[in-house]
Structure 1
Amino acid sequence: MKKLLLSAVMLFGIAISANAQDISKNALGLRLGDNDGFGGEISYQRGLSGNNRLELDLGFRNSKDVDAFKLAGLYQWVWNIEGGFNWYAGVGGGIGSWSYDRRIGNDRYKDSGTILFVAGDLGIEYNFDEAPIQLSLDIRPELYFNSDDYREDNFGPDIALGIRYRFN
């Protein structure tokens, strides 16, 4: 039984290493979605190994009533599909700050706060051979803590399209 288990683990390791793709050392661009008004985020990816990377995203919101920022960090595993396509999954979290100042008639409503969140990430990406461009589509469910006035349900599904410039 031990030999069978060891053989299965070794075969699984060989299969993963055979499908591993060297990912870009660095990628910088935009992640465009809509999660609580953070329509766009500046996105940076740093390759850590052949199939692992760190992604940092910084989102700003500046509107008539609400000002906010959000910083997310995720550790991602990347698997090659074929022909420039990869899929990836990751976990992480982040921090943010928000404030609003609303006037309704003669009444003024003001509040502010800080949010903490944990997040997962699942997506697919395409790396062009002809140009150092990466396109991605992912979903990042976020679970918020200490956000009573920011979100009533403490959950935000963040779906976004990313475009990044890859470089070493």
Structure 2
Amino acid sequence: MKKLVLLAVFVIGATFYNQAEAQTISDNAIGVRFGGGDGVGAEISYQRALGTNNNRLELDLGWRDNSDYDAFKLTGLYQWVWNIEGGFNWYAGAGAGILGVDGQRGDGFDDDGTYLFLAGDIGIEYNFDIPLLISLDFRPEFGFFSDNDVLNEFSPDIALGVRYQF
């Protein structure tokens, strides 16, 4: 019984020690998220800390202008952030977004419209001693409310993020 009590005290103490040593996230971070699984490409990314629980809001804006179509994409995600060790964190989140497409492929198929999607997010990041944050994440997106079956489907997106923290 004595060993069980000592083990419980050790586990509880280690938990509180890890929480006390856990690194907090920065109040703001802005940069670029290099992805492109959805056809929009790189996105301008902004993160804002919410409260004191290492939660944050991430907003990403991407656009594309080429001969086939013009598009913009705005995504908002709520993220929960957990410290692994030192500057390493992992995070998960959920959110939604809007996609606007203006295009004509020349084959009579018109993709014009505004579409909604739901998104998830899971990733890992490293917070350097300088105000630099690098991340790698996976963002599955599920489009809906579209006449176009391609835009109603699952769209995976893997991206590398580079952000300046302030």
Normalising by structure 2, report the TM-score.
0.83
Q: Which has the higher strand share?
A: 1
Aligned residues: 154
Q: Distance in 1 between matches of 2:144 and 2:119?
A: 11
Deviating beyond 3 angstroms after TM superposition, the runs of 4 or more aligned structure 1 residues are 13-20, 108-111
Match of 2:40 among 33, 38, 41: 38
- Shift in Å, 1:19: 6.0
> CA contact under 8 A between 1:127 and 1:133: conserved in structure 2?
yes
Which residue of structure 2 aligns with residue 65 of structure 1? 68
Matched, 1:134 2:133: yes
In structure 2, give the amino acid aligned to 1:90. Answer: G
Q: Distance in 2 between matches of 1:151 and 1:109?
A: 12
Structure 1 gaps, min length 5: 1-6
Q: Distance in 1 between matches of 2:75 and 2:18?
A: 28
Q: Distance in 2 between matches of 1:152 and 1:49?
A: 35
Matched, 1:49 2:51: yes
| Matched position secondary structure for 2:156 | strand
Deviations along 1:33-72, one digit per CA (max 9) or x if unpaired, are 1122111000000011341000000010111111111100
Change in CA separation of 1:19 and 1:154 when aligned onto 2, cut-off 3 Å: farther
Matches within 5 A, 1:11-30: 14=16, 17-18=19-20, 20-30=22-32
In structure 2, give the amino acid aligned to 1:38. Answer: V
Deviations along 1:4-44, one digit per CA (max 9) or x if unpaired, are xxx9xxx5x85774464210000000000112211100000
Normalising by structure 1, report the TM-score.
0.83
Change in CA separation of 1:26 and 1:41 when aligned onto 2, cut-off 3 Å: same
Matches within 5 A, 1:17-166: 17-18=19-20, 20-50=22-52, 51-104=54-107, 108-129=108-129, 131-149=130-148, 151=150, 154-166=153-165
Q: Distance in 2 between matches of 1:92 and 1:117?
A: 9
- Shift in Å, 1:138: 0.1
Aligned identity (percent) is 61
Q: Distance in 2 between matches of 1:150 and 1:66?
A: 17
